[in-house]
Structure 1
Amino acid sequence: MESSASNGGSSVAWVESPLQLLCVIEAQHAGLLGDDAVVVPRSGLPALRLTRNEISRLALPDGLSFAEPSAKMPKPGRSWAVGDAFSGRVQLSLLTSPVRRLLLVDDGLATIRLLELLAERRPLLRARAVPGAARTAMGTVAGVRLRRLARRGRLTVFTALPVPDDVADAVRALGAAVVKHDFPWLRSQPGRRPPAEKTVVLGTSLVRNGLIHREAYVKWLTGLDEPVAYYPHRREDPKDLDRVRRIDGVTVYESGAPAEMTLRDLRPGQRVLSLPSTAVTSLRILLRARGVSVETVDVPDEWWTASAGPSLRSHLQLFAHERVAP
């Protein structure tokens, strides 16, 4: 079988989120994208633009360059890197363009669901989606294409997430490489001055996504009863943030860049609180040697809405190894 890493030539990475962008840079640092990798950010995404601005002051790995943001997905190069393999546009490209090698980078919780579906030989469809026949058919064929790449040694999963051992083993059994990383490039870069507050709270998308009740979340924040530095999630509703700003003792820091970049230089003795999220895992990796506690809030049953089914709650617990009661 051919190596799943590129041995030279051009690679193209299509990124649609700050985490995907960071992981593509780490992949180039790890030598998985070959000698020449071009990153194409999706246009129209403010969080991605702000992250790119933050990255511009850092030293990029050799061979990595950025194209102008685009609303149109680029054609795959010799090697192609993507994060959201559930995307209709990504799946259409898998079906219509020759892909020699594919690198999958982290896209939050969806990455683990993707690996489970690959291993179980099921259609690649988003959680909670209600797809029609055409979308199901495309997800089915996309899964077949990824498994074919895996059998030929041309699929690599590059992840910092806590992928369950049985899932990782099943994906490797398909022929794919599962490569773990701990953000070595990012850890080597200079950080920003941390906030003065001892406690940092990461914002959540669970409210806007209709998975937890807004009032329960706001009540918990109000009850912390200490100075809090609040870093919003990029998808938080502006109206919800206005409520957070009115809570005594809470200061909202709207940097726009991902928490992995803005909080990686927290001081010993500071702590991070978060509802279950991918950022919990990555911050634990980045802060483990700094004496900073990263704790996941144990979400009570009454917080969840009817939209948060048992399987989703179970998935979220993957990010809850160090929990704190609300």
Structure 2
Amino acid sequence: MLCAVEAHHAGLLGAHSHLVPRAKLRPLAVTGRELGRLTLPRGLELTSARPDMPRPRRGETWAVGDAFSGKVQFRWLTALPGRIVIVDDGLATIRLLELLTGRVGTPLLRARGKAGRLRTVLATAAGLRLRAAARSGRLSIFTALPVPPDLAKAVRARGAELVTHDFAWLRSQPLRRPRPEERTVVLGTSLVRNGLIHRDRYFTWLAGLGSTEPVAYFPHRREDPGDLARVGEQPGITVYDGGIPAEMTLRGLAAEQRVLSLPSTAVTSLRVLLSARGVAVETVDVPDEWWTAEAAPSLRSHLSRFAHHDTGVTGP
């Protein structure tokens, strides 16, 4: 949602854009309210939430985040948008680029999860349609993630436009939220709820952090409410209200503060936003014993691939 605003600000969506949130999703609702407190780019309208996905009109530009959604892929096949703009949806954006530049006929499916025959057929057809859009110059990818040079070259060789950004619109907005008082800020993770890391290992690590200093915990939008209640029970840890992207809530941190996170796209985004403020944004290396059997080696590599910078923090 935030990257869609940035894409409009960068001029990729045309003079007038409608940003349509999906209904019944609290993170989108609270993010929408936060955006409403800021000065939106000229020509961008934040519309009412809808339970159904809008059908793009023939020839218009259509911006989407989740390129692996079955509903999105069905729309690619049944509608005829003029241009397609893919905005960041986490590390899945990099996987999409890898699949698009891979073997023709490769289905556009997530890194984890099992797809049946019909779902695979849909994902294969969607991949062919998206590659055709690239060849005709009608596909743009808008990302703040560091795309490896070889991959970026391959994407452009397919005919797609690859545009990187540094949250220019967000950085131009005044700070309206007080920063947390704690020196250490921990970003929550969806890895526990997704069954990719052991819950007890994660909570043991959090308890160790809270025993040494006060910690501000900002939940991931998909964390289990029961897990969050348990986090709040850990001595020394204060759970802050979640739902709003970390890029919006934490961009005012001071140089003496630091951010810790398991592999997450937010690590890269916050480094872009906080580097000028001197804030350390550090990735926690996930120890082997944390991973569950659900986390295949290829998935572990994918999750960790773009999280590291100059330093990392090792779990216990």
Q: TM-score range by the shorter chain?
A: over 0.9
Match of 1:212 among 197, 208, 217: 197
1:51 to 31, 45, 51: 31
Give the whole-Å Cα distance in 1 for the aligned partners of 2:16 and 2:243. Answer: 28
Q: In structure 1, what is the equivalent of residue 187 of structure 2?
A: 202
Which residue of the partner structure matches residue 182 of structure 1?
166
What per-residue deviation string (whole Å, max 9, x for no partner) do you get for residues 90-140 of structure 1? 111100101110000000111111111111031101122211111111111
Amino acid in the other structure paired with 2:68: F
Q: Note the C-alpha offset of 1:247.
A: 1.0
- May I ask how many residue pairs the two structures share in their alignment? 306
Q: 1:319 aligns to what?
A: 307
Give matches, 1:1-326, under 5 Å. 21-77=1-57, 78-120=60-102, 121=104, 122-191=106-175, 192-224=177-209, 225-317=212-304, 318-321=306-309, 322-326=311-315
Instruction: Mark the runs of 5 or more structure 1 residues left unpaired by the alignment.
Output: 1-20
Letter in 1 for 2:20: V
**Normalization by structure 2: what TM-score?**
0.95
Q: Distance in 2 between matches of 1:71 and 1:234?
A: 19
Write the letter of the residue equivalent to 2:44: L
Q: For the residues of structure 2 that align with 1:161 and 1:71, how far apart are their CA atoms? A: 29
1:204-255 deviation digits (Å, cap 9, x = unpaired): 0000000000110100011112100000111111111111111111111014
Residue identity over aligned pairs, in percent, reads 64
1:54-106 Cα shifts (integer Å, max 9, x gaps): 11010000100022111111111410000111111111110010111000000
CA distance in 1, matches of 2:287, 2:9: 40
CA distance in 1, matches of 2:125, 2:22: 24
How far residue 170 of structure 1 moved from its aligned partner, in angstroms, is 1.1
Q: CA RMSD in A?
A: 0.9
Which amino acid counterpart does residue 116 of structure 1 have in structure 2? E
Give the C-alpha shift of residue 256 in structure 1: 2.3
| C-alpha distance after superposition, 1:31-62 (max 9, x if no partner) | 11111101111111000000000110100001
* Contact 1:104-1:158 within 8 A present in 2 as well: yes
3-state secondary structure, aligned to 2:94? helix
CA–CA distance in structure 2, aligned partners of residues 67 and 48 of structure 1? 12
Q: Is the 8 A contact 1:255 1:262 kept in 2?
A: no
| The 10-residue stretch of structure 1 (210-219 or 65-74) with the greater mean CA deviation from structure 2 | 65-74
Residue identity opposite 2:206 in structure 1: L
CA contact (8 A) 2:219 2:241 kept: yes
- 1:12 maps to none
Q: Which amino acid aligns with 1:262?
A: T
Tell me, in whole angstroms, the C-alpha distance in 1 between the residues paired with 2:295 and 2:83: 36
Task: Report the equivalent of 1:3.
Answer: none
The CA distance in 2 between the partners of 1:246 and 1:26, in whole Å, is 37
Change over 3 Å in CA distance of 1:138–1:255 after alignment to 2: closer
Letter in 1 for 2:197: I
For the 8 Å contact 1:201–1:228, the answer to whether it is kept is yes
Q: Structure 1 segments of 4 or more deviating over 4 A?
A: none
CA contact (8 A) 2:221 2:242 kept: no
Return the offset for 1:164.
2.1
